[in-house]
Amino acid sequence: MKSHPEHTFYFIFDRPYSNDFVFAGNVKAVKLFPPARHPLLYYLYFDYAVSRYLRKIEADLFVSPDGFLSRRFSGPQLPVFHDLNFMHHPQFLPGLTARYYLRYFPQYASIARRIVTVSNYSKQDIKDTFQFPADRIDVVYNGVHELFSPVDHDTAIKTRNQFTGGCPYFIYIGALHKRKNIGNMLRAFDAFRTTDKEHHKLLIVGAPMFGSDDLNKAYHSMQHKEDVVFAGRQYNQTLRNIVASASALLLVSHFEGFGVPILEAMHCDVPVIASNVTSMPEVAGDAALLTDPSSVRQIAEAMSQIAGNKELGKSLIEKGRRQREKFSWDTTAELLWESMEKCLEG
């Protein structure tokens, strides 16, 4: 918005919004009804409320950061498809939501002038799944909030005292969701703790979501469940301190379109353990230990390597400093704008 003051940007919300989102004087914000909180309301909101408003303001382009489009709007539309997890694993979503996604997202792809996605993995997946031309799919990587940075020794000690009783810990950040493979992460941590001499904890930051039965089953069968700390959602400076004080980040999901926590850890000079599937090897590069998400043994061994080999940790941190330079929100903004211009060119 700030780079293009010659244009007017309309931000369309389905609920009360913060003025923090009105980034510049050329941004006009509006709240439309009904709030899109349910599959039926998704349909009414995008196909009726949004399309009516787009026609009213004579919009030149509709950009949808969440991928939902308006089938009743005839102008050019540019969705951001972060991933197609819902096409491959509909069981990870509530039934009505899964059915909505499976029915309507192929239709959204059919009316999109171009598609933006966040990794080359997702680009190939979109091409193959929707038979969408590769030359109309633009890869625009995510960036990371500038808040994420290393902490000093005293802050790390204080953070560990606050959350894990002073013990070192591995950290997971994200929804407590079946797609995130929390069950195998807990099983791997339990196996790792049987030989761990430093009494590590596992600090889990996030809120429960649909499909957490495997998590509950794994947790209740653990020998070392007292070493798992559920911290709920954390924000801003506290979240940064938690990440930057960890021994390593764990992101061993079954499926990610990008994997922002990988970058957050790299910016905090924290080693990363990630899955070797979907987009995660692309984002992590050579700056992480990559494991098979279905292998409890591999995940546990990666934790043991981090805990027992300080030089390995230092090496991963150094590689992470180089890898993180490939991603920035400034570059994201420039590439997204280029995609928007291509849409307007036809």
Each residue's pLDDT tens digit, 193-205: 999 999 999 999 9
| Model confidence pLDDT, tens digit, residues 83-122 | 999 999 999 899 999 999 999 999 999 999 999 999 999 9
Mean per-residue pLDDT, 8-12: 98
The identity of residue 268, as a single letter, is C
Fold adopted by 9-143+329-345: Rossmann fold (3.40.50)
Give the residue-averaged pLDDT of 275-285: 98
* Whole-angstrom distance, CA of residue 59 vs CA of residue 53: 9
* DSSP H or E run through 261: helix 260-267
3-class DSSP state of 318: helix
Mean of pLDDT values over 303-322: 98
Distance (Å, rounded) from C-alpha 335 to C-alpha 3? Answer: 13
On whether the CB atoms of residues 233 and 206 are closer than 8 A, the answer is: yes
pTM for the model stands at 0.94
Confidence of residue 327 (pLDDT cuts 50, 70, 90): very high
Q: Which residues pair with 228 in a beta bridge?
A: 202
pLDDT tens digits along 205-262: 998 876 677 888 999 999 999 999 999 999 999 999 999 999 999 999 999 999 999 9
Please state the rounded mean pLDDT for residues 166-170: 98
What pLDDT is stored for residue 211 in this prediction? 62
Q: Which of 26-40, 118-132, 199-213, 266-280 has the lowest mean pLDDT?
A: 199-213
Dist CA 72 CA 2 (whole Å): 30
Which pLDDT score is estimated for 213?
Answer: 79
Give the residue range(s) of CATH 3.40.50.2000 domains in the chain.
Answer: 9-143+329-345, 153-325
**Fold of the 153-325 domain:** Rossmann fold (3.40.50)
Question: If you average pLDDT over every residue of the chain, what do you get?
Answer: 96
Query: Does 177 have pLDDT greater than 70?
Result: yes
Question: In this structure, are residues 12 and 4 in contact, taking their beta carbons and an 8 Å threshold?
Answer: no
d(C-alpha 171, C-alpha 131), whole Å:
38
On the question of pLDDT at 191 being above 80, the answer is yes
Nearest Cα to 100, choosing from 92, 109, 110, 90?
90
Looking at residue 291, its pLDDT comes to 98
DSSP per residue, 54-116: HHHHT-S-EEETTS---TT--S-EEEB----HHHH-GGGS-HHHHHHHHHHHHHHHHH-SSEE
Tens of pLDDT, residues 116-164:
999 999 999 999 999 999 999 999 999 999 999 999 999 999 999 999 9
